[in-house]
Amino acid sequence: MHDRTHPAPDITEADRIDRLRLIRSDNVGPRTFNALIAHFGNARAALEHLPELARRGGASRSGRICSEEQARAEIAAGQKIGVTLTAPDEAAYPPRLATLEDAPPLLGIRGVREVMLRPIIAIVGSRNASGAGLKFAGQLARDLGDAGFIVISGLARGIDQAAHRATIESGTVAVLAGGHDKIYPPEHGDLLAALLDHGGAISEMPLGHVPRAHDFPRRNRLISGASLGVVVIEAAHRSGSLITARMAAEQGREVFAVPGSPLDPRAAGTNDLIKQGAALVTEASDVINAIQPILARPVVLEAREDDDAPLDFEIDPNVRGRIVALLGPSPISLDDLIRMSGLSPALVRTVLLELELAGRLERHGGGLVTLI
Amino acid sequence: MHDRTHPAPDITEADRIDRLRLIRSDNVGPRTFNALIAHFGNARAALEHLPELARRGGASRSGRICSEEQARAEIAAGQKIGVTLTAPDEAAYPPRLATLEDAPPLLGIRGVREVMLRPIIAIVGSRNASGAGLKFAGQLARDLGDAGFIVISGLARGIDQAAHRATIESGTVAVLAGGHDKIYPPEHGDLLAALLDHGGAISEMPLGHVPRAHDFPRRNRLISGASLGVVVIEAAHRSGSLITARMAAEQGREVFAVPGSPLDPRAAGTNDLIKQGAALVTEASDVINAIQPILARPVVLEAREDDDAPLDFEIDPNVRGRIVALLGPSPISLDDLIRMSGLSPALVRTVLLELELAGRLERHGGGLVTLI
């Protein structure tokens, strides 16, 4: 059972180095990376324009641009521990993850690369899960593994590790919030080593990156993005697993939730998800039956609304000022900026890109931006 | 807060006695009662035709017809313990119950008659409920009572009694499977006595009737029928509460279910109900918010499909034979009988009525019948 519909060619090593330099340069995230590539044609050309764009965005000091040496060093260090940096247009990249508009431009893949191409189901939940929750997570993961699915999760304590442990033999993927050499929590190093025999680990972060609080929600979009659907087992109100569920819904992935007693606070989040329309799960067939029709359809790129408008660097300085004046610490959407400024989407997008490269713009969920 | 939209006049005592005689006569159930009244105009005329109809249906021996003396005695005995026999077209009859096509032609009502006219929510569930289930049932019932709803249930052990006990002050209705003087389980006699101060008890059975196994599912249609919606708390697979939920759905009532862990067999039935479309409940507002729009609409009679065709007693003996030949121990529907016999709905219904009065026909759920 494979989840990729067509093979993809590898990119050249020179292109890989250029892409790595671009995504590792200051203020370049996946969306900006994609916008730059779309405009300049390739990473090399985009790199050459970075300083100018940042200056036009009002950078007080020049942002750091990743050097060729640094990129080569990261690739070499990764190879030593079996990490290969893979682009969305390459064969080994998880195909559903590649469809995200904020897919990592280079994903560090470790372990059995073939599992990335199999149908993937995410199982996530509380770190401080109950005994029943842990037991059910293991049981569900095992049944999904037996049915040919790869189980993906976040290597966390609680539900995550139970799902991974139950699928060490059938194949499981750990998504890391830090670099491949900075495992969190540290005591799960053994679990990671064990699952690499028949499974894998992925990260978008450079080696040496110690995960911080805000890296976990960012990482969660990869868990949901790589999967056909996300099963949430035991989640309290406002827990990280609910962020993964929300991202899954935004990405068009199926959302499943395991119910629990109204008197159990660890079931409050999952019961709420079901009230909001998530499918109730008590056994693997609930997931498999819902997923089968999706699996039968080809993997398609999601609509990239933001990319509809090309960039336009022919900007009148007054125009830049008008957009900056509309920005502030309160989040505002691209659509509102276009409407309120009366300017073209291309101009607004370009100014936002410049501001971002200058380190003056922050992007939030739902396409909202704030000026820093 | 009242749930009746228009007042109804009382019936005459003579008519009440005739109606009681008709429904207490052998082989006359609520549907047959209604068909006979629709055809003959009143209970007195129907009673006069009973022996002839039973004979035409092939009764081997004459069925017992309730005498006027027996009817008067039942009414008098009921009055001694505060039970009044009330017809669907009278003001004190629970208005939603009156809309059922198999509404009891005379309902024995005890306690505060006014509560029958308030908006009613059913709470049902396992007899061997868990501590958490009992606690939640009490909490939910109390919150619904505080919000102005009357809680109805079956006076059983477990969830039922927890729901009643929590609403003794706000008002609760017990629906009995036996006569008003044959309380089951016997140890809930005190609970019944306590709830009669601000609530009531209803039964369609004659005094002295000791409830048997098949009386409980029959009784359950009154619990769901009198209510705006049914909340199921803790129900295993194939439990009686699920019968109540199915009846509620067939009657067009809202079905609510309280979730539980997939590892808890007492939640298997409720989780299944949610999978099938029941609304998930973790707090009273889940019920109230769903019920409010229904409460705002007037109470209307449900479509009485079976009553569309009138009776037709001009039957050729050959016709009767053709229908009997199609009947057997395997359940068959009225629609199939009409189609396979090529006869009019009126003729088929009339022959079935005769067979029923002769004690030769059994009616099952979903409009199916078998020959005894």
Nearest C-alpha in A relative to B274: A280
Residue A199's closest CA among A293, A113, A304?
A: A113
* pLDDT of B314: 78
* pLDDT of B284: 98
Residue A282 to residue B259, Cβ atoms within 8 A: no
Instruction: Please report, for chain A, how many H helices and E strands are present, in that order.
Output: 15, 12
Could you give the CA distance from residue A270 to residue A233 in angstroms, rounded to a whole number?
A: 7
Q: Which positions in chain B touch A283 (Cβ < 8 Å)?
A: 262
In sequence order, which residues have a C-beta less than 8 Å from that of residue A322 and are 6 or more positions away?
A341, A343
Could you give the CA distance from residue B4 to residue A51 in angstroms, rounded to a whole number?
A: 76
Question: Please, which pLDDT band fits residue A295 given cuts at 50, 70 and 90?
Answer: confident
Give Cα A352 to chain centroid, integer Å.
22
Could you give the CA distance from residue A136 to residue A146 in angstroms, rounded to a whole number?
A: 15
How close B295 comes to chain A (CA, Å)? 22
Half-sphere exposure of A76 (CA within 13 A, CB side): 6
- Contact by Cβ (8 Å): A4, A299: yes
Average pLDDT over residues B149-153: 98
Question: Please, which pLDDT band fits residue B9 given cuts at 50, 70 and 90?
Answer: low
Per residue in B245-265, pLDDT (tens digit) is: 999 999 999 999 999 999 999
Per residue in A129-154, pLDDT (tens digit) is: 999 999 999 999 999 999 999 999 99
pLDDT at position B308 over 60: no
Question: Please, which pLDDT band fits residue B5 given cuts at 50, 70 and 90?
Answer: low
Q: Each residue of B247-258: b (16+ CB within 10 Å) or e?
A: bbbebebbbbbb
Q: Does A135 reach chain B within 8 Å, measured CB to CB?
A: yes
% of chain B surpassing 70 pLDDT: 95
How many CB atoms are located within 10 Å of the residue B222 CB? Answer: 28
A:B CB pairs within 8 Å: 63
**Look-up of token digits 């994609």:** A34
DSSP A23-76: HTSTT--HHHHHHHHHHHSSHHHHHHHHHHHHHHTT-SSPPP---HHHHHHHHH
User: Where do the H-state alpha helices sit in A234-316?
Assistant: 240-250, 268-275, 284-296
Question: Please, which pLDDT band fits residue A317 given cuts at 50, 70 and 90?
Answer: confident
Q: How far is CA B275 from CA A186, B90, B124, B259, B283, in A?
A: 39, 39, 19, 10, 19
Q: Does B260 reach chain A within 8 Å, measured CB to CB?
A: yes
Residue B268 to residue A282, Cβ atoms within 8 A: yes
Most confident of A152-166, A235-249, A292-306: A152-166
Average pLDDT over residues B3-32: 85
Residue A274 to residue B259, Cβ atoms within 8 A: yes
In sequence order, which residues have a C-beta less than 8 Å from that of residue B305 and are 6 or more positions away?
B367
Q: For residue B183, what are the β-bridge partners?
A: none
Q: What letter represents residue A257's amino acid?
A: A
pLDDT at position B172 over 80: yes
Q: Does B136 reach chain A within 8 Å, measured CB to CB?
A: yes
Q: Which positions in chain A touch B268 (Cβ < 8 Å)?
A: 282
Average pLDDT over residues A116-122: 97
* pLDDT of B7: 55
Residue A32's closest CA among A331, A372, A327, A360?
A: A360
* pLDDT of A97: 97
Best residue of B123, B266, B272, B280 to probe chain A, by most A CBs closer than 10 Å: B280
Residue A259 to residue B259, Cβ atoms within 8 A: yes
* pLDDT of B3: 60
How close A174 comes to chain B (CA, Å)? 26
* B237 burial level (CB within 10 Å; 0-12, 13-18, 19+): exposed
* pLDDT of B25: 95
Q: What letter represents residue B139's amino acid?
A: Q
Average pLDDT over residues A146-168: 97
DSSP A78-127: HHHTTEEEE-TTSTTS-HHHHTSTT--SSEEEEE-GGGGGS-EEEEEE-T
* pLDDT of B299: 77
* pLDDT of B1: 57
DSSP letter at A187?
A: G
- Contact by Cβ (8 Å): A329, A371: yes
Q: Does B281 reach chain A within 8 Å, measured CB to CB?
A: yes
Residue B280 to residue A259, Cβ atoms within 8 A: yes
Laid out side by side, the sheet with B254-257 consists of B84-86, B107-111, B200-203, B172-175, B150-153, B120-125, B229-233, B254-257, B279-280
Question: Quick check: helix, strand or coil at residue A203?
Answer: strand
> Which of A259, A268, A283 lies closest to B260 in CB terms?
A259
* pLDDT of A262: 96
Question: Please, which pLDDT band fits residue B26 given cuts at 50, 70 and 90?
Answer: very high
pLDDT at position B61 over 80: no
Residue A136 to residue B261, Cβ atoms within 8 A: yes
Residue A174's closest CA among A162, A164, A184?
A: A164
Residue B260 to residue A263, Cβ atoms within 8 A: no
Per residue in A324-357, pLDDT (tens digit) is: 889 988 899 988 999 988 888 888 988 988 898 9
**What's the Rg (C-alpha) of chain B?**
21
Mean pLDDT of chain A: 92
Average pLDDT over residues B178-194: 97
Among A272-281, B179-188, B344-353, which stretch is predicted with the lowest mean pLDDT?
A: B344-353
* pLDDT of B4: 54
Could you give the CA distance from residue A295 to residue A254 in angstroms, rounded to a whole number?
A: 12
Q: Which positions in chain B touch A280 (Cβ < 8 Å)?
A: 259, 271, 274-275, 280
**Look-up of token digits 């035709």:** B49
* pLDDT of A301: 61
Nearest C-alpha in B relative to A276: B280
User: Where do the H-state alpha helices sit in B41-181?
Assistant: 43-56, 68-80, 131-146, 159-165
Among A1-15, A297-311, B207-221, which stretch is predicted with the lowest mean pLDDT?
A: A297-311
Q: Phi first, then psi: give them for residue B7, nearest 5 degrees.
A: -75, 155
Could you give the CA distance from residue B220 to residue B147 in angstroms, rounded to a whole number?
A: 24
Q: Does A280 reach chain B within 8 Å, measured CB to CB?
A: yes
Average pLDDT over residues B296-321: 71
pLDDT at position A305 over 60: no
Could you give the CA distance from residue B363 to residue A142 in angstroms, rounded to a whole number?
A: 47
% of chain A surpassing 70 pLDDT: 95
Residue A262's closest CA among B271, B170, B161, B126?
A: B271
Residue B267 to residue A280, Cβ atoms within 8 A: no
Among A102-116, A165-179, A303-317, which stretch is predicted with the lowest mean pLDDT?
A: A303-317
> Which of B259, B262, B274 lies closest to A136 in CB terms?
B262
The alpha carbon dihedral of A217, A220, A225, A226 has a sign of positive
Could you give the CA distance from residue B259 to residue A273 in angstroms, rounded to a whole number?
A: 12
pLDDT at position A7 over 60: no
Question: Please, which pLDDT band fits residue A298 given cuts at 50, 70 and 90?
Answer: confident
